[in-house]
Amino acid sequence: MSYCCPADPEKKKEWEEKMLQETDFLDNDIKKASEIFSALGHPIRLKIAYFLSQRDHCVCELIFKLNERQNLVSHHLTIMKNCGIIEAYSNSKWHFYRLNPEFRDILSVISKIKPL
């Protein structure tokens, strides 16, 4: 049985602790989601995510496809990497980026959005 705002002091304390736990958990989830949406909220970063959803890319490929300066592309890659959207790896001399598989579904949903 569910109850709301119990009058009994012992149950009220238990209820308040439960509410605070749920709020803390929600706040952490909301903060992380907000960071992710903020990171995806720039056209260049959305393009990068799209390109990486197709296959891994080295930085020079992204610079060419985006037609942007290297320092700007690196800046956007850093933001996305810090949020966990993309992962970096390198072989002897090239740096590559790949989309974190957990974000494929988000991009799929975004691609289905139609203009109003």
Give the DSSP H/E element, type plus range, for residue 108: helix 104-111
pLDDT in tens, 36-73: 888 888 999 999 999 999 999 999 999 999 999 999 99
SS3 readout for 30-82: HHHHHHHHHHCCCHHHHHHHHHHHHCCEEHHHHHHHHCCCHHHHHHHHHHHHH
Domains contained in the chain, number:
1
Residue 1 lies in a domain: no
Residue 3 lies in a domain: no
Residue 75 lies in a domain: yes
CATH code of the domain covering residue 91: 1.10.10.10
Q: Is the pLDDT of residue 90 over 80?
A: yes
Residue 12 lies in a domain: no
Q: Across all residues in the chain, what is the average pLDDT? A: 86
pLDDT for the residue 114? 65
pLDDT for the residue 25? 65
pLDDT for the residue 1? 46
Residue 15 lies in a domain: no
Q: How far apart are CA 58 and CA 60, in angstroms?
A: 6
Residues contacting residue 1 through CB under 8 Å, at least 6 positions apart: none
Show the domain range for 45: 40-111
pLDDT for the residue 28? 74
Residue 96 lies in a domain: yes
Residue 45 lies in a domain: yes
